[in-house]
């Protein structure tokens, strides 16, 4: 079966050139479709039975990572990035989000077709430099996740409830928060002193930021203890 390739770019000349290249090898590839905007791409790909997506990340750089997250949610297609920019931070973020490789726009056409085949087979198409850089990034992210999980695990159930309530009601006064939690202001202050120490924050603003960054801000119903 030919590999079904979907193309995304707002550079129409590039889009047409890639389409012609894919269609020039019908035994190896078939054109599943194309989109010149990220907004229309996800639904089209979900309905096209796509194997590999070539995503031109120069089109809308700020939307690249959200689009990859969406594509990974609606399709099993492998994503191959295409770029002429030297924004390695964006490239690394896109790979960590789920893309499987990066090619430069100046790539030899036959090499691009080979990259599509390798990515479709499950391989990663990255330079050694990019692979090393992304490996270090993943180690750092995993380390941060482990540290955060370790901090959160120190909280008691009541402390987690207080963190969630404050994150969702941060604008209330201490008196109002204590009243809603059916505790005294003094008890609330004692809880907060313990929470701040365990999470490594220094005030309510830091606590709220930590809660939202680490998934502790889902609304729950407070119960008296």
Cα–Cα distance list, 96 to 68, 105, 127, 142, 206 (Å): 10, 21, 15, 12, 27
CA–CA separation, 53 and 123 (whole Å): 14
Tell me the per-residue pLDDT of 116-134, one tens digit each, with 9 for 90 and over.
Answer: 999 999 888 887 666 666 6
Tell me the pTM.
0.61
Please give the pLDDT value at position 34: 95
d(CA 72, CA 80): 13
Write out the H or E segment, with its range, that includes residue 74: helix 64-74
* C-alpha–C-alpha distance, residues 193 and 181, integer Å: 16
Give the model confidence (pLDDT) of 74-116 as tens digits: 889 999 999 998 888 888 888 888 888 899 999 999 999 999 9
Distance CA 199, CA 154 (A): 8
**What is the pLDDT confidence band of residue 31, given thresholds at 50, 70 and 90?**
very high
Domains and CATH numbers, the chain: 3-135 (3.40.50.2300), 144-213 (1.10.10.10)
Q: CA-to-CA distance for 200 and 213, rounded, in angstroms?
A: 14
């Amino acid at each position: 079966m030919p590999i079904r390739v979907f193309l995304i770019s707002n550079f129409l000349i590039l889009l047409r050139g890639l389409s012609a290249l894919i269609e020039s090898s019908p035994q190896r590839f078939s054109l599943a479709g194309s989109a010149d905007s990220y907004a229309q791409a996800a639904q089209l790909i979900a309905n096209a039975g796509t194997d590999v997506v070539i995503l031109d990340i120069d089109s809308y750089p700020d939307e690249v990572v959200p689009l990859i997250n969406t594509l990974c949610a609606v399709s099993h297609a492998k994503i191959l990035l295409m770029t002429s920019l030297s924004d390695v931070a964006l490239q690394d973020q896109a790979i960590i989000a789920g893309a499987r490789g990066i090619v430069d726009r100046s790539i030899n056409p036959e090499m691009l077709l080979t990259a599509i085949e390798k990515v479709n087979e499950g391989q990663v198409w990255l330079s050694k430099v990019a692979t090393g850089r992304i490996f270090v990034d993943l180690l750092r992210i995993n380390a941060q996740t482990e540290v955060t999980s370790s901090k959160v695990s120190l909280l008691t159930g009541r402390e987690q409830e207080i963190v969630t309530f404050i994150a969702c009601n941060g604008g209330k006064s201490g008196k109002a928060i204590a009243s809603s939690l059916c505790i005294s202001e003094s008890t609330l202050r004692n809880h907060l002193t313990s929470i701040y120490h365990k999470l490594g924050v220094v005030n309510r603003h830091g606590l709220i930021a930590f809660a939202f960054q680490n998934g502790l801000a889902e609304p729950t119903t407070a119960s008296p203890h």
